[in-house]
């Protein structure tokens, strides 16, 4: 379904959500492999985009390869890496007080940052599944003292196979810190455009040639609006047609899945 007059054929670069778009849990979605093959065959480029900052890129490469997708680390962009690149562009070799997993710590060290609680230039909050009260307390002290506060993404819950199906994510931690300090963070990941700015710079592409393909209105499609790129919603994951009807967010296109998107790209 086309909602706005944006020509699919002009699109050359695709930011792809993963869970709900390419796979669902541990299963590859029907037509996903053929869609990715068509993008490659038609000289289009794509990058897998995720808000999860608890894992490094190699984890996602392994997951995709286990599903039969021949991905490499250059085709993965996490909100953690996007945050590191955002800070690096503004202040190379910065001193960072980081609330994050060992994977995220490794990411920041690889980008040349010093991880410390002594006179940091920034406090950075990732999806810290190793969060302790001591780290939280120190972060709040630093934020109250005026150290700039950055978060990798705003998701409140992270889907999981555990009990209720969700565990607290960065957004929940942000609310706790805000309640204590009264300070809001600068956020890099979806739905904010900074993560797409990083991708556009990496791929050297034009916004009018770039699309976000995903299954969530409030992250994937909202980010497309914020970044002024084409938003392509697939109904293979979280969002339904009813959600679209009731939403103020308007994707450019809606397809049942990436299989139908691939067919439309070939026919357009």
| Residue 2: CB atoms within 10 Å | 14
For residue 222, being part of any structural domain is answered with yes
The whole-angstrom distance between residue 61's C-alpha and the CA centroid of its chain comes to 15
Do 203 and 166 sit in the same domain of this protein?
A: no
Last residue in a domain, options 169, 187, 205: 187
pTM of the predicted model over 0.85: yes
Domain count, the chain: 2
H/E stretch holding 157: strand 157-159
For residue 223 the two structure tokens come to: 């980010």
pLDDT tens by residue, the chain, 268 residues: 444 556 798 999 999 999 899 998 889 999 999 999 999 999 999 999 999 999 889 999 999 999 999 999 999 999 999 999 999 999 999 999 999 999 999 999 999 999 999 999 999 999 999 999 999 999 999 999 999 999 999 998 887 767 777 889 999 999 999 999 999 999 999 999 999 999 999 889 999 999 999 999 999 999 999 999 999 999 998 899 999 999 999 999 999 999 999 999 998 5
In whole angstroms, what is the distance from residue 49 CA to residue 74 CA?
A: 11
Tell me which residue of 26, 19, 32, 29 sits closest to 238, measured CA to CA.
Answer: 19
Instruction: Name 172's Cβ contacts closer than 8 Å, sequence gap at least 6.
Output: 156, 157
In which residue are the tokens 């040639």 written? 209
For residue 68, being part of any structural domain is answered with no
| CATH number, position 114 | 3.40.50.1000
Q: Strand pairing of 166-168 and 157-159?
A: antiparallel
Do 168 and 204 sit in the same domain of this protein?
A: no
In whole angstroms, what is the distance from residue 268 CA to residue 263 CA?
A: 9
Do 201 and 173 sit in the same domain of this protein?
A: no
- The range of the structural domain enclosing residue 107 comes to 82-187
Q: Phi, psi (5° rounding) for residue 209?
A: -105, 10
Instruction: Name 59's Cβ contacts closer than 8 Å, sequence gap at least 6.
Output: 103
In whole angstroms, what is the distance from residue 144 CA to residue 151 CA?
A: 16
């Amino acid at each position: 379904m086309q909602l706005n007059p944006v020509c699919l054929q002009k699109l050359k670069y695709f930011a792809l959500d993963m869970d709900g778009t390419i796979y669902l849990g541990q299963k590859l979605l029907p037509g996903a492999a053929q869609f990715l093959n068509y993008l490659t065959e038609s000289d289009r480029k794509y990058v897998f985009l995720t808000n999860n900052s608890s894992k490094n890129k190699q984890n996602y490469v392994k997951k995709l390869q286990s599903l039969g997708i021949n991905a490499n680390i250059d085709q993965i962009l996490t909100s953690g890496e996007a945050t590191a690149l955002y800070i690096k562009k503004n202040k190379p070799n910065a001193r960072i007080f980081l609330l994050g997993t060992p994977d995220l710590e490794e990411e920041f060290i690889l980008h040349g940052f010093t991880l410390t609680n002594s006179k940091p230039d920034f406090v950075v909050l990732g999806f810290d599944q190793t969060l302790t009260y001591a780290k939280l307390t120190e972060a709040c002290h630093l934020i109250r003292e005026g150290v700039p506060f950055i978060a990798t993404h705003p998701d409140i819950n992270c889907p999981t196979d555990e009990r209720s199906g969700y565990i607290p994510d960065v957004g929940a931690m942000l609310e706790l810190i805000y309640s204590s300090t009264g300070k809001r963070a600068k956020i890099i990941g979806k739905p904010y455009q900074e993560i797409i700015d990083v991708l556009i710079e990496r791929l050297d592409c034009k916004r009018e040639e770039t699309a976000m393909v995903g299954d969530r209105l409030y992250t994937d499609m909202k980010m497309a609006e914020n970044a002024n790129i084409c938003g392509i919603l697939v109904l293979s994951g979280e969002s339904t047609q009813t959600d679209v009807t009731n939403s103020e967010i308007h994707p450019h296109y809606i397809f049942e899945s990436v299989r139908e998107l691939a067919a439309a790209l070939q026919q357009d």
